[in-house]
Amino acid sequence: MKKKDLAYYMELPYNIIIRKDPYGGYFAKIEELEGCMTQGETYEEALKNIREAMELWLENALEDCDIIPEPVADEEEFSGKFVLRLPKTLHRKLARNASKENVSLNQYVVFLLSERNIQVQH
């Protein structure tokens, strides 16, 4: 088993999110490392800065013996299916609306979810 030191964590494929800041420059964060964020005037600077912020974040967590989350699983680990329990009345409404739209219940629910631009927060 590989030793989980700074080098180990720095090599993991963490999800880096960089987006243009409405006030100028770019904002960057590591999705899995709460509070690990920075900014930069350019995309490249934000990317460089987030790697530095990640290293400092990990060093502090290792020093404090904190639990360090590893990257979110790749898409291949998700089948695209899950079981959902819901009230019979809601099931009935959804099925009727799907029928009116001439689509399957599954297609209708996927459509509703995608229309809501669902964003999951950790």
pLDDT digits (tens, 9 = 90+) for 47-71: 999 999 999 999 999 999 999 999 8
pTM equals 0.59
Number of structural domains (the chain) is 2
Q: What is the pLDDT of residues 64-110, one digit of tens each?
A: 999 999 987 665 676 778 788 899 999 999 999 989 988 889 888 88
**What φ, ψ does residue 62 adopt, rounded to 5°?**
-65, -40
3-state secondary structure of 33: coil
CB 28 within 8 A of CB 16: yes
Same domain for 12 and 41?
A: yes
Q: Which domain holds residue 87?
A: 79-115
Same domain for 46 and 17?
A: yes
3-state secondary structure of 105: helix
Q: Is 69 within the bounds of a domain?
A: no
Residue of 6, 99, 22, 102 whose CA lies nearest to 57: 6
Say how far apart CA 62 and CA 57 lie, in whole Å. Answer: 9
Say how far apart CA 65 and CA 59 lie, in whole Å. Answer: 10
